[in-house]
Amino acid sequence: MSTVEVLSGLLEAEGYTLVSGSSQKNPALRLLDMLYRLIRYRSQTDLLLIDTYSTSAFWYAYVISRLACVLKLSYIPILHGGNLPQRLKTHPRQCQQLFGRAKVNVAPSAYLMHHFQKAGYTNLKYIPNSIALEHYTFKERQPLQPRLLWVRSFAQIYNPLLALQVLQELLQTHPEAKLSMVGPFKDESIDECKAYAEAHQLPVTFTGGMSKSDWISYATDFDIFINTTHVDNTPVSVIEAMALGLPVVSTNVGGIPYLLDDKVDALLVDPGNVAAFTKAILKLLQHPDLARQLSATAQKKVERFDWQVVKKEWNAVLRGE
């Protein structure tokens, strides 16, 4: 479920009426469906929320924003792509058309706020990604076991192969180690991962996509959350892991160091570094007090992402306050 789908449900519970699109898998059909819905519901629309990413999906946001301008509809891009700072450099004209004409650009991280301000944008509002904290039960992992959980879409920018390489290395000292990788299959990286796991006979499970409630329940059986990305912003899956009490090991990329503090509420390592990532996991296993300390600090931090806190910011933006 995308961030805007989660947000839609939360806003509907607050009394807003929303129409969402699109569920089409084919990229061309997806764009056409979004354009159709925008035209169909234009007279009933007060404000358009546009989930905005940095890879090919950037062009969905761009085209939709152009139509919104033609229809004289106000719109708000919700900035998610961890590589949007690069997009600001490579496509400045299109970015100016998309972001410059927005009512406001909602940035869920200080990382994106910084880069957009640096690029000269002033129509910005920081509203962090949120979770309904009441749905997450904190569990202290004791004793800590080498049971790793990875939750993300299978896409090259999230470097899922690194998770398998880390597992392979960890098995050298902890033969009981295992890994589960939860997430929809977005590109050929899933084929690469399955082939690698089979070739090296790794104890890994590929679950495919799961509903929010299912993976929250599933996470109970795991002890360490790993985030292996090359590019990132403020991943909700990491925030959820913090709420569940899973100590986090992550690559130190994009918005991650704006979200997590190394050795305070997580352990951060350089991207693509198998040895460093494995060493960080071993550090948690060898020092359970550190793991408990990181998880406890992370639990306190995650309170600021609770919907009951964040919704006040959204209400202010949507009401033009």
Whether residue 150 is found in the same domain as residue 276: yes
Tens-digit pLDDT profile for residues 271-311 = 999 999 999 999 999 999 999 999 999 999 999 999 999 99
DSSP 18-70: -------SSHHHHHHHHHHHHHHTGGG-S-EEEEE-SSTTHHHHHHHHHHHHH
Q: Domain range for residue 32?
A: 3-130+306-318
Mean pLDDT of 98-106: 97
CB 227 within 8 A of CB 260: no
Burial class (CB in 10 A: 0-12, 13-18, 19+), 46: exposed
pLDDT confidence of residue 27: 86
CB 265 within 8 A of CB 242: yes
Whether residue 205 is found in the same domain as residue 237: yes
pLDDT confidence of residue 1: 59
Whether residue 276 is found in the same domain as residue 214: yes
Confidence of residue 46 (pLDDT cuts 50, 70, 90): very high
Tens-digit pLDDT profile for residues 166-217 = 999 999 999 999 999 999 998 999 999 999 999 999 999 999 999 989 999 9
Structural domains in the chain (count): 2
Confidence of residue 9 (pLDDT cuts 50, 70, 90): confident
Whether residue 160 is found in the same domain as residue 100: no
CA distance 128 to 14: 18
Mean pLDDT of 49-58: 90
- pTM of the complete model: 0.90
pLDDT confidence of residue 144: 95
Whether residue 298 is found in the same domain as residue 273: yes
Mean pLDDT of 99-120: 95
Confidence of residue 2 (pLDDT cuts 50, 70, 90): low
Whether residue 36 is found in the same domain as residue 169: no
